[in-house]
Chain A
């Protein structure tokens, strides 16, 4: 099955700086990679996703890059704000079949005002 590793487990940045979270996956057949943001006591919220036919996707301050050859993908948050503080999870899946998401272990991001 798929195995997703995520680093770092915790990340602290100053407000306005950039934050980068990296994930690797093992199944070369995985072709869909969503990122979720989870605030304390809440369910995960989809913030951005990328498919295997695209190398990079950007949505305002958030961007995701994908390197299929190396089987890794990264989340980039620029101009961080205190409200970006949360736990971020990467995930990988094949988009056919049961669509089971395989999650990384999460990164707790703290943006220091």
Chain B
């Protein structure tokens, strides 16, 4: 199946710093990528939808100035957590859509665990 690579898998940073997370589709071109946040023992919460070459669409309650998303190419989207604080600590997961039989299928990266001290 399609492979989505997410990097880094784990990052620890000091409060106030910014962290960039990369999401790459390795063997296919993804016009649409999604960014999710997951709290312990909870489901995935969609943060934003990222389309190549255009501004991301953020879900209600997600601060666009806090979570900067860039989708500059068909294989790469980045999420930057700006001025991170301890409450931003979470598991962030990206996904990319690949064309499957009859439509698009969403494939997920392995996730990035962010710990803000």
Interface residues of A (CB under 8 A from B): 32, 34, 36, 41-46, 49, 51, 89, 95-96, 98-101, 103-106, 108
Any chain A CB within 8 A of the CB of B61? no
Q: Looking at the complex, which of B70-78, B80-88, B97-105 is the stretch in contact with chain A?
A: B97-105
B32–A104 contact, CB under 8 A? no
Q: How large is the interface on B (under 10, 10 to 19, 20 to 34, 35 or more residues)?
A: 20 to 34
| Inter-chain contact A99/B108, CB cutoff 8 Å | no
Q: What would be 19 A-B contacts, judged by CB atoms less than 8 Å apart?
A: A32-B103, A34-B105, A34-B106, A42-B110, A43-B4, A43-B95, A43-B111, A46-B105, A51-B102, A95-B102, A98-B32, A99-B104, A99-B106, A100-B34, A100-B46, A101-B95, A104-B43, A106-B43, A108-B41
- CB pair B111 A41 closer than 8 Å: yes
B93 contacts A by Cβ under 8 Å: yes
CA A60 to CA B105, docked complex, whole Å: 21
- Cβ–Cβ < 8 Å partners of A49 in chain B: 105
Query: CA–CA, A87 to B70, complex, Å?
Result: 30
User: Which one of A34, A42, A43, A95 has the highest number of Cβ atoms from chain B below 10 Å of its Cβ?
Assistant: A43
A contact residues around B102 at 8 Å (CB) = 51, 95
Measured CB to CB, the closest approach of chain A to B88, in angstroms, equals 18
* B6 proximity list for chain A (CB < 8 A): 43
- What chain A residues lie within 8 Å of B34 (beta carbons)? 100-101
